Chain A
Amino acid sequence: MQQLDLVFSALADPTRRAILARLARGEATVNELVEPFDLSQPTISKHLKVLEGAGLVSRGREAQFRPVRLDAAPLEGAAHWIGGYRRFWEEGFDRLEAYVETMQRKEKGHVRKRRRK
């Protein structure tokens, strides 16, 4: 599977998204992840394996705690695709709206100047 496919199947689960949201605030050990989610440690580990396979998280070296941290790089590619097209254009049109407004103001300004002459 391509990485984008792996990223999307990893993201297509609410628990895994919640884990990523938690890791966005800073790295955590597996135990720290188990607490807020009310899931068993093996279940969390299973989710982490999927996230790791997608390159979204990595594990530290310290054998005992092995903190999990977020790797945001693959998300940059995914960000384009997440609801991407509509969102992309809605944001672009927001900017277009503001830009057309400035064009219009400039135009009116010129007309006024011309009239004053």
Chain B
Amino acid sequence: MSASAAVSEPVAERTVVITRVFDAPARLVFEAMSRPEHVRKWFGPVGWPLTLCEMDFRVGGRFRFAMTGPSGVQNMPFGGTYREIEPDRRIVYDNGFEIAGAGRMVVTISLEEKAGRTTLTMSTLFDTVAMCREHVGMGFEQGTNSGFDQLADLVASMVRSRG
């Protein structure tokens, strides 16, 4: 698919939104996301620690992460550039795997504090609809999501037990 075709694809079809409410003020959630010593403690699924975590947390600064799975081999690094930073409110960065031809995504994180609780909204805009589907795991065999969830659990436990 050419870049121009990608740009014309509807934004809604290549965006994924994830929200989460934290029982904590926005400044703490922001702090936990903005410093490598904190990010290392929570990023990613259990069993996949960040073994590379470089963060130059300022607008125009770059970050570079990589995780190591149960097999002990470090996975492909990924990273990008911080585009917007608004303390305690908003972080925008682009991200992608460090491999030729890998698609990019633009991630917007916004924090909304109300009565001591913080709603985090993470919106990811993928380059193309195809990339979005690839990452989110939908689009092939629709309606079997629960089956895939179970499979993902199974795969995770197998990978763990063999690692």
* A positions within 8 Å CB-CB of B: 8, 11-12, 14, 17, 20-21, 24, 70, 72, 75-76, 78-93, 95-101, 103-104, 107
Contact = CB atoms under 8 A, between A and B. Distances in A.
B125 interface: no
B20 A97 contact: yes
A92 B22 contact: no
Nearest to B21: A97
A111 B37 CA distance: 22
The secondary-structure label for the interface of chain A is helix
Contact of A81 (B28, B29, B135): B135
Interface residues of B, number: 44
B16 interface: yes
Contacts of A24: 154, 158
Contacts of B147: 14, 17
A47 B128 CA distance: 32
Contacts of B124: 85
